Amino acid sequence: MGRRYAAKGKKKRKLEDGVASRADDAQELPPPEGDEGKGEEDATEGDETVEVAEGIPVLPRPVDGRKRPRAIFVLERACLEVGKVGKTMQILNSDDHANYLRKHNRNPADYRPDIIYQALLAIFDSPLTKAGRLQAVYVRTEKGVLFEVKPNVLLPRTCKRFCGLMSQLLQKLSITAVGRREKLLNVIKNPVTQYLPVGSKKIGLSYSADKSVKLNDYVAESSDDEALVFVVGAMAHGKIDSAYTDDYIQISSYPLSAACCLGKICTALEQKWDIQ
């Protein structure tokens, strides 16, 4: 009786199965059921935390034990108004909401939140502020809402993010620092004069003022014993109310934007106090 042989290809399949088994052993084991997708969830949660985290970063304050004079700014008639566009509350502006504003019988040219944004950047990006010589900034909107901006706040780098921050401020009435309870932006009660130092010199600036001065000389002649409060308009058209100002001056023969005007003020103060 002849010897029986296995069918052709069977041994080969067995070897292939063995190789396949060893290949399977070399592969990474799947994660346990409880941890499945944990890495993806962690990454997603991290991204969401960055997007929805409340608060804004702060600048380190200069450590200086000496008492030095510091400047105060009041920005009047800022174009910041919240409106419900679709299902969200947004700061209205002439670029994105022109049709919405015309529909409600409003002039789109009056809605310029970029003016106050550029004005604040001119102050907070100046060497004056970085040297710790800024005491406070107060902003009053066209609707009469008054809020304070602390000197150590780090403003958003884009106007869109700034508008989102202002929308949050006008609805929640305060914005705190990241990881702290310190209020960096805070809606406060009118009038602004109750927050100004006693004996401070309140200086209003306008192109329509009768008194024309050379700003560098005007600031240099001022006394360091009295706090200087500069009142500047942050609106597209018109002039500020000079009722509570002690002096009302014109610093240029040409109309200047709020950012340009504030830049000149900061430069004059830096020269007076020898800030490089």
* pLDDT bracket for residue 47 (50, 70, 90): very low
43 lies in some domain: no
CA distance 211 to 158: 36
Judge whether 263 lies within some domain.
yes
> Residue 134: what residue type?
L
Rg over alpha carbons for the chain, rounded to the nearest Å, is: 31
pLDDT surpassing 70 at residue 147: yes
The total of structural domains in the chain comes to: 1
Residue keyed to tokens 């050379």: 214
Nearest one of 228, 276, 273, 236 to 255, comparing CA atoms: 236
Sign of the Cα pseudo-torsion (150, 154, 160, 161, in order): negative
Question: What does DSSP assign to residue 35?
Answer: G
Give this prediction's pTM.
0.76
Answer whether residue 23 is part of any domain. Answer: no
Full domain range(s) for residue 143: 71-273
Residue-wise pLDDT tens digits, 228-268: 999 999 998 888 987 899 999 999 999 999 999 999 999 99
Q: What angle do CA 56, 57, 58 make, to 5 degrees?
A: 120
Which CATH number characterizes residue 211's domain?
A: 3.40.1280.10
